[in-house]
Amino acid sequence: MLGTVGTANAPAYVTSKHAVVGMTKQMAIDYAKDRIHVNALCPGFVDTPMISFFTQDVDTKAGLAAAHPWNSLGRPEDVADAALFLCSDEA
């Protein structure tokens, strides 16, 4: 998610995510002639140990969840399922 928007106090993290999105777009253009698809997953907040500092507080966790249309944090399985789909012949 932070590859498409900004946030305060995280310049290196946000910059790296924007770089991945830009690289994905560029590679998609470069490989389109060979009919190779290039995708990036931008899952938003996923309930993992990486954000556990924030999710320990009930109000902060609710605020993070509210940033998603379904009012819930993502699960690692959600990201894994999306990645598996993109690796499949169905993508």
Catalytic residues: 13
In the structure encoding, which two tokens stand for residue 28, read together?
């998609």
Q: How many CB atoms lie within 10 A of CB 71?
A: 9
8 A C-beta contact, residue 25 and residue 14: no
